[in-house]
Amino acid sequence: MKQRTFKPEGAVLGNTSKSGSAAGSPRRTSVSALRERPQAQVLIIGGGINGVGTFRDLALQGVDVALVERGDYCQGASGASSHMIHGGIRYLENGEFRLVQESVVERNRLLKIAPHYVKPLQTTIPIFSTFSGILSAPTRFLTHKRGKPKERGAFLIKLGLSMYDFFSRDGGSVPRHQFLGKEKALTELPRLHPGIKYAATYFDASVHNPERLTLDVLQDGEKAGSASSLPGGSARASNYVAMVSTDSPAGQAGAVLLRDELTGEEFSFQADVIVNATGAWVDLTNEAMGAASRFMGGTKGSHIVLDHPELLAACGGREIFFEHTDGRIVLIYPMGDRVLVGTTDVEADMAQDAVCTDAEIDYFFDLVGHVFPSIKVERDHIVYSFAGVRPLPRHDDTQPGFVSRDYRIERSGPKPSGAAPAGDLTAAGGKAAVVLSLVGGKWTTFRALAEHLSNDVLRELGMDRKVSTAELAIGGGLDFPDSEDGIQDWIKKHMASGFDADRVNGLLTRYGTRAEDVMAYLAAGEDRKLRSTNELSVRELEFMAANEQIGHLVDVLIRRTSLAFRGLVTGELLNEVAEVLAMHLGWDSAKRQAEIQHAQEVLRRFHGVTVHSLVA
Ligand SMILES: Cc1cc2nc3c(=O)[nH]c(=O)nc-3n(C[C@H](O)[C@H](O)[C@H](O)COP(=O)(O)OP(=O)(O)OC[C@H]3O[C@@H](n4cnc5c(N)ncnc54)[C@H](O)[C@@H]3O)c2cc1C
């Protein structure tokens, strides 16, 4: 059975053709590498952070691994998160102690191994009551049924934060929490609601650029596999390649049918172990592979991004994390010069696009008013919105906010010794592949999750772990300066190659210490800044086109840079970026125009942004 169509962004363009090559889209090397050697020990389906994390881990163990993602990397839930790398203090009241402990440990690790993108985040909880929620919280451990939870009072929050500190004790990466009375709290954050009784402040972390962190993890994996003598290396990955079904024309054992979403070309691929890391789509993916499952029960969450200097100043550089009047935990926090507001938690309909609705926007305005009543927020302040579906386990009448955030791995396929049970992925006369389906998994725990999933895969393959990723720097986090002074020194040192301080800083922020490779590339030829933005140059776009698997113009705007997130996409920028990419990706003029329209449509439909066209 072929997978039902659900292509969050790709559906907009509709440019795939069965004929084998859509006009203006030359064959990509990432796809050729899969087609030319259409087998691997492991095939990972899904290029969100969990699939990509597992790809890196397996590549480091010397496993022959391939990964396919039907859209762009980090386009699903991984690109729609609240950007928090957190222990999940809230999960304590769900009784998820294992998850909180693992999350805190992983948060501390990511601050060390990915310091270029994961930064400490000071967080303040405004508290309006002293004892509320104490009686309801313990019963919530047991029931988690529908109904409005009682407000969480100061006592309960203090208890939670003390447990949180306890779990953090070994890392020493973040300071302990602090509790302030009303007066002191309002001195620190004077725009907070005057009705608060206390404010608790503690540290978590945030990931500033999840899309680029995903790419770094992926490239670490590719690099680990590049030394192999296998054609294409032992770690191959391609975006815009979907797993569509099992009906392999070649009839190979354990084979699935893959489709290049940019050209429509289909080809068969065979693996001994298939990792289904397709997040909220896990059941649909299993269905397409002929093995029905009912693991998932995703919930949708949305965010808005505001250009609102008054609100930005009111946050004082902190995340404001609090309970809204409906009992949901929500957040307001500065991301650079913008303010992120989120999030909702509603049952998802996988047949619909995940978008931020008008009702959700009203909810966000209401929650800002709950803690900052003197600050007015209007629709004109919104520069970007986004939504995604959390890959949560199926939950019956448990409230969405209380569904377990922990993960598990479901195995199907032959027992190590023998025959495949009916309904498993088995091509005619062949050996069945083992399918490992990932159910759940937060951003925060991706490294640990990848290690668990890899261990399961290694067991299936009869191989041993060679490398631990626990202390291994990720991509441009290697040798990243660990202080503001260190950053300034790094910038000064690299200005020697003819770049001004702003440019070096911009590149270090975007790529971490991988900026050295980018600068070497920029310096090797004639370059100029784009007319439409100071943040990009022609050669940097060329670098992305050559090294970062750009499938669509919109990938650059949303996932290789944060220009869309910050509301900085203009008609002129669209034209200019499309023009440079066209030269390097072989797009003809019709394809270039189609890409501009596609970017406009994706921004309008999924992010509430209207960008007017200019005549090219
Ligand atoms: C609103 C919201 C807020 C969140 N906030 C946080 C937070 O602050 N901190 C935190 O730790 N976590 C947070 N999370 C959770 C976290 O973002 C996700 O759990 C995590 O990103 C899931 O990653 P994944 O790789 O498992 O799934 P995804 O990122 O969804 O990746 C699955 C991928 O599979 C691809 N795919 C599907 N079908 C196919 C196919 N047939 N062939 C090829 N590819 C396919 C999809 O295109 C998708 O890219 C949040 C999630 C949401 C939605």
pLDDT in tens, 129-159: 765 554 444 445 444 444 555 566 677 778 7
128 pLDDT tier (thresholds 50, 70, 90) = confident
In the prediction, which pLDDT does 24 show? 52
How far does the centroid of ligand 1 lie from the alpha carbon of residue 567, in Å?
Answer: 23
Q: Is the pLDDT of residue 42 over 70?
A: yes
Q: Please choose from 43, 67, 70 the residue to mutate so as to test ligand 1's pocket, defined by most ligand atoms within 8 A of CB.
A: 70
In the prediction, which pLDDT does 3 show? 55
> Is the sign of the CA dihedral 543, 544, 546, 552 positive or negative?
negative
How far does the centroid of ligand 1 lie from the alpha carbon of residue 140, in Å?
Answer: 27
Mean pLDDT, to the nearest integer, of 6-26? 50
Q: Please choose from 267, 353, 442 the residue to mutate so as to test ligand 1's pocket, defined by most ligand atoms within 8 A of CB.
A: 442
Q: Please choose from 261, 390, 410, 425 the residue to mutate so as to test ligand 1's pocket, defined by most ligand atoms within 8 A of CB.
A: 390
Q: Is the pLDDT of residue 522 over 50?
A: yes
Considering only 153-167, 198-212, 467-481, 506-520, which range has the smallest mean pLDDT? 153-167
**Ligand 1 atom with minimal separation from the 288 CA:** 41
Q: Take residue 76 and report the two structure tokens written for it.
A: 């699903």
**Ligand 1 atom with minimal separation from the 343 CA:** 1
Closest CA relative to residue 326, chosen from 287, 375, 380, 363: 363
Burial pattern 146-185, b for ≥16 Cβ within 10 A else e, equals eeebbbbbbebbbebbebbeebbeeeebbeebebbebeeb
The dihedrals phi and psi of 328, each to the nearest 5 degrees, come to -75, 145
Q: Is the pLDDT of residue 426 over 70?
A: no
Mean pLDDT, to the nearest integer, of 196-206? 92
Residue of the nearest CA to atom 21 in ligand 1? 78
CB 181 within 8 A of CB 115: no
How far does the centroid of ligand 1 lie from the alpha carbon of residue 440, in Å?
Answer: 9
CB 490 within 8 A of CB 508: yes
Mean pLDDT, to the nearest integer, of 382-394? 95
CB 372 within 8 A of CB 317: no
**CA separation for the pair 512, 516 (Å, rounded):** 9
**pLDDT tens digits, one per residue of 547-599:** 999 999 999 999 999 999 999 999 999 999 999 999 999 999 999 999 999 99
Residues 6+ apart with CB under 8 A from 520: none
The dihedrals phi and psi of 2, each to the nearest 5 degrees, come to -80, 150
In the prediction, which pLDDT does 6 show? 45
Q: Is the pLDDT of residue 22 over 90?
A: no
Percent of the chain with pLDDT over 70: 85
Q: Which long-range contacts (CB under 8 A, 24 or more apart) does 156-159 make?
A: 156/93, 156/131, 156/132, 157/125, 157/127, 157/200, 158/200
In the prediction, which pLDDT does 162 show? 82
50 pLDDT tier (thresholds 50, 70, 90) = very high
Q: Take residue 231 and report the two structure tokens written for it.
A: 């054609």
Neighbour count for residue 108 (Cβ, 10 Å): 20
In the prediction, which pLDDT does 113 show? 97
How far does the centroid of ligand 1 lie from the alpha carbon of residue 192, in Å?
Answer: 33
In the prediction, which pLDDT does 430 show? 53
Please write down the HEC assignment for all residues of 46-103: CCCHHHHHHHHHHHHCCCCEEEECCCCCCCCHHHCCCCEECCCHHHHHHCCHHHHHHH
111 pLDDT tier (thresholds 50, 70, 90) = very high
Name residue 68's beta-bridge partners.
Answer: 45, 238
Residue of the nearest CA to atom 13 in ligand 1? 81
Q: Is the pLDDT of residue 278 over 60?
A: yes
Residues in the ligand 1 pocket, defined by CB under 6 Å: 3, 45-51, 68-71, 75-78, 80-84, 242-243, 277-281, 285, 301, 343, 388-391, 441-444
**CA separation for the pair 268, 245 (Å, rounded):** 10
What average pLDDT does the structure give for the chain?
A: 88
Q: Please choose from 2, 52, 281 the residue to mutate so as to test ligand 1's pocket, defined by most ligand atoms within 8 A of CB.
A: 281
**Ligand 1 atom with minimal separation from the 83 CA:** 8
Residues 6+ apart with CB under 8 A from 7: 70, 71, 242, 261
Q: Please choose from 57, 67, 82 the residue to mutate so as to test ligand 1's pocket, defined by most ligand atoms within 8 A of CB.
A: 82
In the prediction, which pLDDT does 164 show? 78
Question: Structure pTM?
Answer: 0.92
Token match 């354990």: residue? Answer: 254
Closest CA relative to residue 110, chosen from 399, 443, 536, 352: 443
CB 3 within 8 A of CB 234: no
Q: Is the pLDDT of residue 616 over 70?
A: no
In the prediction, which pLDDT does 158 show? 80
**CA separation for the pair 88, 424 (Å, rounded):** 36
533 pLDDT tier (thresholds 50, 70, 90) = very high
CB 39 within 8 A of CB 269: yes
**pLDDT tens digits, one per residue of 292-333:** 899 999 899 999 999 999 999 999 999 999 888 888 889 999
**pLDDT tens digits, one per residue of 63-76:** 999 999 999 999 99
Burial class (CB in 10 A: 0-12, 13-18, 19+), 534: exposed
How far does the centroid of ligand 1 lie from the alpha carbon of residue 391, in Å?
Answer: 6
Please give the single-letter amino acid code of residue 563: L
Number of helices and strands in the chain (H, E): 19, 18
**The Cα angle at residue 537 between residues 531 and 539, in degrees rounded to 5:** 135
In the prediction, which pLDDT does 496 show? 77
**pLDDT tens digits, one per residue of 325-379:** 888 889 999 999 999 999 998 888 888 889 999 999 999 999 999 999 999 999 9
In the prediction, which pLDDT does 379 show? 97
Burial pattern 389-411, b for ≥16 Cβ within 10 A else e, equals bbbbbebeebbbbbbbbbbebee
Q: Is the pLDDT of residue 210 over 60?
A: yes
19 pLDDT tier (thresholds 50, 70, 90) = very low
**CA separation for the pair 321, 323 (Å, rounded):** 7
Classified as helix, coil or strand, 246 is coil
Classified as helix, coil or strand, 249 is coil
In the prediction, which pLDDT does 352 show? 85
Q: Determine the angle formed by the axes of helices 97-113 and 446-461, rounding to 10 degrees.
A: 100
Q: Is the pLDDT of residue 429 over 60?
A: no
Token match 């009839």: residue? Answer: 251
Domains of the chain: 10-21+30-77+211-295+406-461 (3.50.50.60), 85-113+126-207+298-402 (3.30.9.10), 480-607 (1.10.8)
* Residue 314 host element (H or E): helix 309-315
Structure-model confidence comparison of residues 376 and 417, the more confident one = 376
CB 538 within 8 A of CB 579: no
State the alpha helices, DSSP H only, in 416-570: 446-461, 484-495, 501-511, 515-523, 538-547, 553-555
Q: Is the pLDDT of residue 29 over 80?
A: yes
In the prediction, which pLDDT does 490 show? 96
Residue of the nearest CA to atom 14 in ligand 1? 81
